[in-house]
Amino acid sequence: MYIYAKLSRYDFFVTRIIGSGLGNILFPWARSVIAAKKSGFQKIQPTWLNMRIGSIIRRENDLRFYSDLFINTNNDINGVKKILYLLFLKKIPENQISKVNPHKNDIIIYTGIQGYFLPIINDYRYINNQLIKMTSPKHLNGLFYDYSNSISLHVRLGDFKVDKQTTPISWFCDVVNLVRKNTTSNLRLYIFSDGNDKELAPLLELDNSKRLSFGSSIADLLALSKSNILVGSKGSTFSMWASYLGRMPVIWPPGGLMQRLYSDNSLQEIESDGLSLPPTFFV
């Protein structure tokens, strides 16, 4: 019995097309990792490479091909053997795992968001360790940056602008001012974004602010997971992953807290209108 995280509908085993971003494709990967841990079944290496024409057309800074982000550290099945297995072995959806015969050579397929973090809500330590373990060393530099006495923003623009899903820059400015008012005025501001400097100008003009990027989506995600205080973008699973992995105090726009992730400390997982913050957030 084998386990495979199918990251896109159009998966050709060596590359994918029309695939989702990193935040979304990490969900089936994470569920497959936990399933493999519990069952002992061997995993087949996911198809990370993704050809995204839209990213090229929009001239995004990160084209999100994901070709060099991860290495096969767990000896997952790969190469020709992977292709042959995926072509010829029977595939079983993950919701039928209880009905499988463990003595047959079948593949359990994990795909889609499937409840976001609910299936893995308490597995954040293991998932974090496995994600770091399989990330190429050149994308780990952000883990060692100094995030003390700072607030980190994930300002999602890029393809969110197409569907008018972006969180207003003015809201981020208001939240930064609120946090600084309640903590210290010289709190450092780190801005992670796929936007350009012109779009981010109101934030970059704030005192002690700096754009940060460590060269790739996974590098920036892991860096954000080390935030002292995180401010996320509404509707961004990328922001959610940083919160899930890092367990830091996090602030969301109104309606942005799509799913509670901190069962042990919900007071540090809040929404704000940019006008006020609950005093319990800073305890």
Please give the chain's pLDDT, 283 residues, in tens. 999 999 999 999 999 887 788 999 999 999 999 999 999 999 999 999 986 655 544 556 555 568 889 999 888 999 999 999 999 999 999 998 877 777 788 999 999 999 999 999 999 999 999 999 999 999 999 999 999 999 999 999 876 554 455 789 999 999 999 999 998 888 999 999 999 999 999 999 999 999 999 999 999 999 999 999 999 999 999 999 999 999 999 999 999 999 999 987 788 999 999 999 988 887 6
Alpha-helical (H) ranges within the chain are 22-39, 53-57, 79-88, 124-134, 169-182, 201-204, 217-224, 237-246
Beta carbons of 187 and 151 less than 8 angstroms apart: yes
pLDDT at residue number 184: 81
Q: Tokens 């992953």, residue?
A: 241
H-helix or E-strand spanning residue 213:
none
pLDDT at residue number 17: 86
List the domains of the chain with CATH numbers: 2-134 (no CATH), 141-282 (3.40.50.11350)
Q: In this structure, what DSSP letter does residue 144 have?
A: G
Cα–Cα distance between 166 and 159 in angstroms, integer? Answer: 9
Cα–Cα distance between 135 and 222 in angstroms, integer? Answer: 10
In this structure, the chain runs to a length of 283
- How far CA 195 is from CA of 47, 96, 113, 188, in Å, comes to 27, 42, 25, 20
CA-wise closest residue to 51 among 7, 101, 5, 91: 7
Beta carbons of 44 and 4 less than 8 angstroms apart: yes
CA-wise closest residue to 192 among 19, 68, 20, 23: 23
Q: In this structure, what DSSP letter does residue 233 have?
A: P
pLDDT at residue number 26: 98
CA-wise closest residue to 46 among 111, 129, 113: 111
- How far CA 233 is from CA of 63, 123, 160, in Å, comes to 20, 23, 10
- How far CA 142 is from CA of 60, 84, 220, in Å, comes to 21, 37, 7
pLDDT at residue number 57: 45
Terminal-residue alpha carbon distance, the chain: 48
Cα–Cα distance between 75 and 79 in angstroms, integer? Answer: 11
Cα–Cα distance between 45 and 56 in angstroms, integer? Answer: 26
pLDDT at residue number 100: 76
pLDDT at residue number 102: 73
pLDDT at residue number 217: 94
Burial 250-265 (b: 16+ CB within 10 A, else e): bbbbeebbbeebbeee
